[in-house]
Structure 1
């Protein structure tokens, strides 16, 4: 069985996912066979991964896909055995070891955690059978002691699997000394003993100015410091895990093409836009609720959604449907991805009430297509070709629903002999089920030429790999990686 170490945080969005990815790359560069693991993730950013022992594919959190990339291995569903995909403020779809297990309300989910711990431990054991090291990422914070009794994401897992914990604090949000000392104060003794040290993350400026802070933390907690990580600018070159980061993402101040993306209430797989954001002459603007879509956008992209019908209504309430119609009338281009593709059609039929009340809703009417919601979920990798741009397209599908209509006679891509997507008669509106469309470099290059943008041969995957290498180098400089990896057991 592999050795393991776990990173937990004093709260959400403290940078655990990036640190785990960076440490996975550190271990790989040292010649270790390493795997990422997150017992429970809550995210609508999902990726396709293999289900061990089968030819099927399942879903994991996109962050674990990135961490697998950092390890140099193909992702499997064992890397994230429990994935919660929010569908509303009260309920979510539950994905266990890659496969959807229906929807649960938050209170009902809490009662199911006992059985899910068995799945978590099974995946953890299987993942560690043929590797040197497993680096585990917690979720939220162990300080949420009201959830401790049935916890499978933090100390509930760590104590059961006997995995030592490094506690991460985010100094950028302020109060990091209190956050670490407070966590020490409220944990029970068994949980407290699991913690072998701390990491301070997202420090800006002269790190030596925090020497007294480190001494105070050690005095209050008795935990050693593994180091202080500076603000990692390279993290902006990696796919974000949470939509809370979207409004904070920087874009070029001047660009040849502005891309507007409405931030749907259940936005999913928004890292589909990352390859466009990485282009120096492209500005991607994620437009939050309460703001109108910019009139000077050359392209509007309607992203994926975990709840297409609910987000279609949300889009209308924000006035975005009017903005999209005006953009179309003025000759602008529109692309819909997955749920956004379904919204572009004339109707969405949900006779079984999969997404809520059974019935038919009117779409935006910009593509001559209709979608029928069905319970079977398509989860698969895609190798295709774009007829329009004569370019290869690779990506993945994760969706329910089957779409058809006259505009499907002009597909966005051919997956073997199977057409995918639809293009309007004038070519200015298109939609597809393929996530990762813009990561395909040749396709992206030829697509952007329609807007007068030359990409200069940017290889998006190489940019991500370089960012992982740069982050690993920073962690080697600022953390005691020898001690941290030695703490694994």
Structure 2
């Protein structure tokens, strides 16, 4: 039987995603055939798997860490929030439906069967499967019907390593408290713990480790230092945007309005890494900087809803002023749809049936369609004559006069649109700036010389650096000895 072990956290954002990615690369470097798995993910940062269909961006990254093709079975349930109370449900890569929180609970028994089916697919032929939980198993009010943490672990017999985040404080209490509230059977499934995000002299926490073991009986598998290289990896959750530190002084200021349902915001990571680019995330209550040379409207899981919020912030007026000043605008996916004259939703794909005016900066119209476009694509950037590749995930069809000036040609088909003066453009292509040749050519049009870095290699190097740190600081061999199904 394939060995497997699951990392669960004492809370959200304790660093499980990065740890699993690093452990995947560590295991791959040891010559193991390793695969990642996350039963349930909630994120609007999605990717297109190599076998077609959507998965969480984090599982795509983890498959890259494993040096193995990505699969929809690595993340069989993906919840994409569309409002504060409801989400689109993607199961094994395809849209399954929509549900509010209480209704979703009723679906979990059926979904657990699909999750177990996908796990069987992933473990076939693997030496090791590294599983990532979601949130915390200490949320015992959600234990009945759980498919993301202990419910899944019990179903397939996977042992659990509990991860605590020392950077946020109270790590001893969070680990001991989790032990206290868990049912006895779940408590016994935990084979040990990891401390993550430690800064300073790790030996100073030796007594803390002993205290946790004394209270819980769980052994420590090690203390992971603060992983600076994690900042070079695509983030999973838009919560990181709230903590993003602005780097001032770039020759080109790029402003990005943070939409309520922002999606695939890692599209901007390669730009943010450029030394001569100052990327500014504009949050609610803030204004679009008047000295921005470029405004990027990012992807959105709820184009019509985010368009209303965009207007409520007064960003529509500020963006029009930006365009009148002769400055540039780029719309990505949902942001591209917003730039047109009209967004129509006759079937209620984006919520209620509606038809709303767009920002009117491109002569295009979008009609929402029930069938979602999900595909990996490659082609050419028309204006610059360079090859591009990436992926599409959208539910709209866009057409109009400005589409006669496409931004890219993808698989022989025109994509996107551009205004007559070339200052406003949009595309459905995600991952555009990860194409080094395109990024260099695009920045050159602003008079900026790009760094010349290889973005993909930078991510690979970061994974290797994280794996090396984990190899040196945790007892991975002890974890593997516990990775026996039961």
TM-score range (shorter-chain normalised) is over 0.9
Which residue does the alignment assign to 1:398?
Answer: 393
Which among 213, 218, 239 is matched to residue 218 of structure 1? 213
2:122 and 2:103 map into 1 onto residues whose CA distance is: 28
1:402 and 1:229 map into 2 onto residues whose CA distance is: 47
Which among 157, 168, 175 is matched to residue 173 of structure 1? 168
Bigger shift: 241-250 or 64-73?
Answer: 241-250
| Superposition deviation, residue 251 in structure 1 | 4.3
Deviating 4+ runs (over 6 angstroms): none
Which residue does the alignment assign to 1:209?
Answer: 204
The one-character-per-residue Cα deviations of 1:186-219 (angstroms, maximum 9, x if unpaired) are 0011000110111111111111111111111111
Q: 1:219 aligns to what SS in structure 2?
A: helix
2:22 and 2:246 map into 1 onto residues whose CA distance is: 24
Which among 359, 368, 372 is matched to residue 363 of structure 2? 368
The one-character-per-residue Cα deviations of 1:274-325 (angstroms, maximum 9, x if unpaired) are 1101111112111211111122211110000000000000111111112211
RMSD: 0.9
The one-character-per-residue Cα deviations of 1:110-151 (angstroms, maximum 9, x if unpaired) are 010000000000000111111110000000000000000110
Which among 129, 135, 145 is matched to residue 134 of structure 1? 129
1:416 counterpart = 2:411: yes
The one-character-per-residue Cα deviations of 1:21-62 (angstroms, maximum 9, x if unpaired) are 0000000000000000000000000000144xxxxx100000
Q: 2:144 aligns to what SS in structure 1?
A: helix
| Superposition deviation, residue 250 in structure 1 | 3.3
1:379 counterpart = 2:410: no
Which among 334, 337, 344 is matched to residue 349 of structure 1? 344
Which among 354, 358, 368 is matched to residue 359 of structure 1? 354
The one-character-per-residue Cα deviations of 1:325-369 (angstroms, maximum 9, x if unpaired) are 111111111000000000000000111111122121000000000
1:442 and 1:203 map into 2 onto residues whose CA distance is: 38
1:487 counterpart = 2:478: no
Q: 1:353 aligns to what SS in structure 2?
A: coil
Which residue does the alignment assign to 2:6?
Answer: 6
Alignment of 1:140-159 (within 5 A): 140-159=135-154
Which residue does the alignment assign to 1:54?
Answer: none
Unaligned runs of 5+ in 1: 52-56
Q: TM-score, normalised by structure 2?
A: 0.98
Alignment of 1:65-464 (within 5 A): 65-464=60-459
| Superposition deviation, residue 456 in structure 1 | 3.2
2:335 and 2:314 map into 1 onto residues whose CA distance is: 16
The one-character-per-residue Cα deviations of 1:60-105 (angstroms, maximum 9, x if unpaired) are 0000000000000110000000000000011100000000011101
1:323 and 1:34 map into 2 onto residues whose CA distance is: 49
Contact 2:333 2:429 in 1 (8 A): yes
The one-character-per-residue Cα deviations of 1:210-229 (angstroms, maximum 9, x if unpaired) are 11111111111111111111
2:479 and 2:283 map into 1 onto residues whose CA distance is: 39
Which residue does the alignment assign to 2:43?
Answer: 43
2:260 and 2:309 map into 1 onto residues whose CA distance is: 7
1:359 and 1:139 map into 2 onto residues whose CA distance is: 35
| Superposition deviation, residue 177 in structure 1 | 0.5
Contact 2:369 2:395 in 1 (8 A): yes
Which among 454, 461, 479 is matched to residue 466 of structure 1? 461
1:282 and 1:400 map into 2 onto residues whose CA distance is: 31
Bigger shift: 449-458 or 459-468?
Answer: 449-458
2:440 and 2:137 map into 1 onto residues whose CA distance is: 45
Unaligned runs of 5+ in 2: none
